[in-house]
Amino acid sequence: MTVAAGIGYALLALGPSLSLFATVISQKPFLILTLLSSTLLWLISLIALSAIWRPFLPLKTASLWPYALLILTSVAFQEALRLLLWRLYMRMEEILDAFADRVSKPRLFITDKMQIALAGGMGHGVAHAIFFCVSLLTPAFGPATYYVEKCSQIPFFFVSAIIALAFVTIHTFSMVIAFSGYREGNKVDQYFVPIVHLAAGMLTLINLASGGCIVGIPLLYVLAVLTLGHCGKMVWKRLAESTRRQGDLY
Amino acid sequence: MGSSILISIIQRFNIPVDAVTFFILVLNFTVIGTISVFSNGIPIIVKQSNMVVLGIIVAAWFTALPEWTTWVVLVALALYDLAAVLAPGGPLKLLVELASTRDEELPALVYESRPNVVRNSGARGSREHLVIDVRGNERENGGEIEEVSEGVGETLPLVENVENRSDARVLLRNDIEEMESEEMTERGIKLGMGDFIFYSVLVGRAAMYDLMTVYACYLAIISGLGCTLILLAVCRHALPALPISIALGVMFYFLTRLLMEPFVVGASTNLMMF
């Protein structure tokens, strides 16, 4: 039973990304590379952040503002990282396109670009889920469970798996949105991503209040679904545009 | 060594096995392992799984060392690896050169015998090296698996675009192999047995602390391997596989342990994530 519960929690957090990995990413070695490198980048960012915050931890105060500050700095740092990743990606795409032109092969299709963005985002999401949820999950395989004082209705592992799932979704698809926004120069998309990220981080602050997770988690899922919907809409629009353009060409 | 691990596994999970069956199992394992190392007729998958199992067994025994001994041994081995492969008179460099000179004389034979070189160096405990074949004819010798994966790779537009430059071709091929580390020994690139073992030792030692350090070390080792492979594509001769990976792994282990763990545990036990 306990092993089943542990596996269940892990799958709850990582199941969607696992299926996404199996269907899309694992087909192309290049995407796996992107996934791995973005995971590593996220890990490095996490280490850097924790290095910054190490002297102040653990926080003794019950007040909200140090936590809010922590999340604010973290989100800001990670959004800066996203910009960095975008720069790297642009350079890589230029190189690839140059080589593709030289040997007169087709350039990267728009779906390829989106898949690269998806892989990059998934790297972030998976790293998040692994370090915040799965790595704490080891005790869940044992014969007991753990409840957090502030959220006593459901087990801690369950809550963290649920939250991790929401964050995986947000990270994965916001990378697609962000890359597309950077490419098009679309201001709405560019600001959408950090705002959603920050809002999601801030929403977890609700969990600090007693019984707050009942309110916080549905709100978090509203954000995740919003991200998903926005991403789907945008991809649909872009695909329709590109097929129309191709139709004009021929 | 492996059999005592097997015994402990049997005891742990309470599997009913009698002594005769157990003896036959262990005997089979050893015989097949030995044959697969020294003969050509064995399927690649058997060789690879044998290597992986051996790596696991040796690593499991190395985790019995005291903690600081492990770290010192790892770092020292990485340094020795660096010296042995790159220094002019290094023993591994001589080995690799010997192999490559023979290779030019008898391509088909030596291609098959190379895993022996790798295996022997692994058996001596501390010698690891990474050999790359950059010549095309050898790539064709790579066997069925490579051809299959090539076929798959070139039907995909993403891969196609990258593979079009000869330089990137080697690089990408290596990267594919990095993903499928078990197939590494039989294709264009070879990873020494010792590398397997000491990567496993590092991860095993990390596992004795926390799962978080395991993931960090795993990622670090994979990316170190990636860096080595990229360097390999640039330098085009045998390179030590340990130094970059071990350095990254050790660094990430201590960073994770000292810095990240309190941060992440503190944040997530408050159900705070970002």
Tell whether B237 and B208 lie within a shared domain.
yes
Cβ contacts (< 8 Å) between B214 and chain A: which residues? 135
Q: Is B138 inside any structural domain?
A: yes
Q: Are A159 and B271 in contact (CB under 8 A)?
A: yes
Query: What is the rounded CA–CA span in Å between residue A196 and residue B191?
Result: 44
Q: Are B245 and B203 in contact (CB under 8 A)?
A: no
Q: Is B163 inside any structural domain?
A: yes
Query: What is the rounded CA–CA span in Å between residue B178 and residue B176?
Result: 5
Q: Are B197 and B224 in contact (CB under 8 A)?
A: no
- Among candidates A29, A58, A78 on the partner chain, residue whose Cβ is nearest the Cβ of B175: A29
Q: At which of B168, B185, B202 does a domain end?
A: B185
Q: Is B239 inside any structural domain?
A: yes
Structure letter (DSSP) for residue B258: I
Any chain A CB within 8 A of the CB of B270? yes
Query: What is the rounded CA–CA span in Å between residue B180 and residue B183?
Result: 6
Structure letter (DSSP) for residue A151: B
Tell whether B197 and B108 lie within a shared domain.
yes
Mind telling me how many Å the CA of A247 is from chain B's nearest CA? 20
pLDDT level of residue B239 (50, 70, 90 thresholds): low
Q: Any catalytic annotation for residue B167? A: no
Query: What is the rounded CA–CA span in Å between residue A22 and residue A27?
Result: 8
Q: At which of B158, B185, B212 does a domain end?
A: B185
pLDDT for res B200: 77
- Among candidates A32, A105, A151 on the partner chain, residue whose Cβ is nearest the Cβ of B161: A105
The complex's ipTM works out to: 0.71
Tell whether B99 and B144 lie within a shared domain.
no
Query: What is the rounded CA–CA span in Å between residue B35 and residue B47?
Result: 9
Tell whether B250 and B217 lie within a shared domain.
yes
Tell whether B75 and B202 lie within a shared domain.
yes
Cβ contacts (< 8 Å) between B171 and chain A: which residues? none
Query: What is the rounded CA–CA span in Å between residue B263 and residue B272?
Result: 11
- Among candidates B215, B260, B272 on the partner chain, residue whose Cβ is nearest the Cβ of A205: B272
Q: Residue B234 sits in which domain range?
A: 65-114+191-269
> What is the 3-class SS of B181-201, one letter each residue?
HHHHHCCCEEECHHHHHHHHH
Q: Is B195 inside any structural domain?
A: yes
The pLDDT of B159-181, averaged and rounded, is 35
Tell whether B144 and B171 lie within a shared domain.
yes
pLDDT tens for each residue of A72-97: 877 888 888 888 888 888 888 888 77
How large a percentage of chain B has pLDDT more than 90? 0
Cβ contacts (< 8 Å) between B269 and chain A: which residues? 136, 148, 156
The pLDDT of A151-161, averaged and rounded, is 74
Q: Hey, which residues does B130 pair with through a beta bridge?
A: B191, B239
Q: At which of B185, B206, B230 does a domain end?
A: B185
Strand ranges inside chain A, DSSP E: none
pLDDT level of residue A231 (50, 70, 90 thresholds): confident
> Which of A155-169, A176-190, B116-130 is least confident?
B116-130
pLDDT level of residue B185 (50, 70, 90 thresholds): very low
- Give one DSSP letter per residue of A81-110, joined into a string: HHHHHHHHHHHHHHHHHHHHHHTT-----H
Identity of the residue numbered A188: V
How large a percentage of chain A has pLDDT more than 70? 82
Tell whether B72 and B181 lie within a shared domain.
no
Q: What is the CA radius of gyration of chain B?
A: 20
Tell whether B167 and B257 lie within a shared domain.
no
Question: Highest mean pLDDT range out of A135-149, B111-125, B152-166?
Answer: A135-149
Tell whether B138 and B178 lie within a shared domain.
yes
Q: Any catalytic annotation for residue B81? A: yes
Using alpha carbons, list the distances in angstroms from residue B211 to A36, A130, A241, B12, B261. 18, 10, 46, 21, 10
Tell whether B216 and B88 lie within a shared domain.
yes
> Which of A12-16, A37-41, A169-173, A185-189 is least confident?
A185-189
Q: Is B229 inside any structural domain?
A: yes
- Rounded to 10 degrees, the C-alpha dihedral B182/B186/B187/B190 comes to 80
User: Six-digit token pair at A166?
Assistant: 């929401």
Residue A170: pLDDT over 70 = yes
Q: How many structural domains does chain B have?
A: 2
Residue B203: pLDDT over 70 = yes
Query: What is the rounded CA–CA span in Å between residue A200 and residue A71?
Result: 10
Q: Is B58 inside any structural domain?
A: no
Tell whether B175 and B262 lie within a shared domain.
no
Query: What is the rounded CA–CA span in Å between residue B168 and residue A102?
Result: 14
Q: Is B164 inside any structural domain?
A: yes
pTM of the predicted model as reported, rounded to 2 decimal places = 0.68
Q: What is the CA radius of gyration of chain A?
A: 20
Mutate: best of A34, A38, A40, partner B, most B CBs <10 A: A40
Tell whether B195 and B259 lie within a shared domain.
yes
Q: Is B53 inside any structural domain?
A: no
Mutate: best of B214, B229, B268, B269, partner A, most A CBs <10 A: B268
pLDDT for res B201: 78
